[in-house]
Amino acid sequence: MQSAPVLRSEWLKIRTTRSLLGTLLALFAVTTAFSALAAAPDPSDPDFDPLFTTFSGVLPGQIAAISFGAMAVSSEFHNGALRVSLAAVPQRGRWFAAKVTSIAVPALVVGLLTSLAALLAARAGLGPAADTLTGGEQVRAVAGCAVYLTLTALFAAGLTTLLRSGVATLSLLIPFILVVSFVIGDAAGTVVEFMPDRAGQLVLQQTHEGTLGPWSGLAVTALWTAAALLAGAWSLNRRDA
């Protein structure tokens, strides 16, 4: 069976599901709005990072990316939808690859639009502080932000396939990001660098300390995502629809 019809089918599911389109819209709106609101610099803060401040909206916005990835997969586990999908595409690996692609492409496109909008919105609030940002740093952050949001959505998709529950995925990932990463993360030493969110967000920082750099940090997030997708694929192949 050719892959194009499977991809079209999976894309149609996403395009016609209002809740999924709503999460993508929320990703754009929340990230852009919070970046604009958080862009006022504090001259007395020696740790002020104008690049990370510019993309600070990614912190709440990534919740929408997680929701998009989780909901895109969890719908398959309701009312026997997965059985129908696998009846049309018996090769489970082919179907899962199409599902992952149908999540990754819109997430990347919206991620790019979102990162560009966040940059433009935040630069207005930064004022003279924006002049310290080089063209290379801004390009790196825009591209890295889009990739990070895409990886976040795919990480949630893989975990949802493994757990077979969008609620379980959201209940696990959102508290992890909001509580573990920020409340106890700073006290965890070097280990915090290798958390999937903290590692990926290094690409949004102008300066950084530690073992990982911007792209190596994003690679760590990619490894977490690959592990989640492989675990999801394993679960899909081993368990009944």
Domain count, the chain: 1
Contact 167, 80 (CB under 8 A): no
CA distance 93 to 165: 19
Q: What is the mean pLDDT of the chain?
A: 88
Closest CA to 240 of 99, 77, 70, 95: 77
At 87, which helix (H) or strand (E)?
Answer: helix 81-88
Per residue in 102-161, pLDDT (tens digit) is: 999 999 999 999 999 999 988 887 777 777 788 899 999 999 999 999 999 999 999 999
Backbone angles phi, psi at 19, to 5 degrees: -65, -35
Contact 98, 11 (CB under 8 A): no
- With a CB cutoff of 8 Å and minimum separation 6, the contacts of 229 are 100, 154, 157, 158, 161
CA distance 152 to 66: 6
**The domain containing residue 198 runs over which residues?**
3-238
CA distance 175 to 17: 26
- With a CB cutoff of 8 Å and minimum separation 6, the contacts of 39 are 53, 54, 56, 121, 122, 123, 124, 125, 126
Contact 206, 137 (CB under 8 A): yes
* pLDDT for position 189: 59
* pLDDT for position 176: 85
pLDDT surpassing 80 at residue 7:
yes
Per residue in 184-230, pLDDT (tens digit) is: 656 555 677 888 998 999 999 988 777 889 999 999 999 999 999 99
